[in-house]
Amino acid sequence: MVKGYKKRYAKQKGQTRPVKIPAKARYNAFTQKYDRLINRIVTPVELTLAFDPKDNPGGKVPFPVIKKTALWDTGSTGCVLTEETVKEMNLTPVGTTILNHADGATQSNTYLVNIHLPNRVGFAGMLVSECKNITGDFGAIIGMDIIAKGDFAITNKNKKTCVSFRVPSMQSIDYVDQHKKLTRRK
């Protein structure tokens, strides 16, 4: 948890109310906007061998950075790299796991990597599995192991998709509660 971070919401008289976030509270976020409705979310991603960013105070990445695109998949419990991406990164397996997918289940190698999303949203030491090369022109899948670390929103106002993600999670979104509040005011 970020130092100085307090709960975004507090209970008061059975209802949730917003609480000011301290000025010291920090989060990283990115937003990707499309000029049309989309049926899948694909964002740029940078991958490196795993390392502890605290060991690099100057911010220099000690390994080559591999740039790929990543499909966001809320049905995937963890992040996945394609065989092509694993080969390009020259990764060494750290173990194996059973990977469940549309064609059944297969044994898959696992690897430790750092994953860098747009706008400096990064995750160090992520355990990822490997899958066959996937049609769709992406080299990675962002799964719930990353998505669950933050707030993830997809909106489609005016037939234009907007995707936004931030870490750490700071607020619950409840459209039913918002609707109730709006209809009470009328």
Tell me which amino acid residue 23 is: A
- How is the chain split into domains, by residue range? 14-55+62-185
Question: Among residues 126, 48, 134, which one has the least CA distance to residue 89?
Answer: 48
Q: What CATH architecture is 14-55+62-185?
A: Beta Barrel (2.40)
Average pLDDT, stretch 165-179?
Answer: 90
pLDDT digits (tens, 9 = 90+) for 6-60: 333 233 333 333 434 444 558 899 999 999 999 999 999 999 999 998 887 777 7
- How far apart CA 172 and CA 34 sit, in angstroms, is 24
Q: What is the pTM (predicted TM-score) of this model? A: 0.81
Question: Which tokens sit at 123?
Answer: 């995750």
pLDDT digits 0-9 by tens, 95-115: 999 988 888 889 999 999 999
Question: Which residues is 151 bridged to in the sheet?
Answer: 166
Q: Which two tokens stand for residue 143?
A: 């799964």
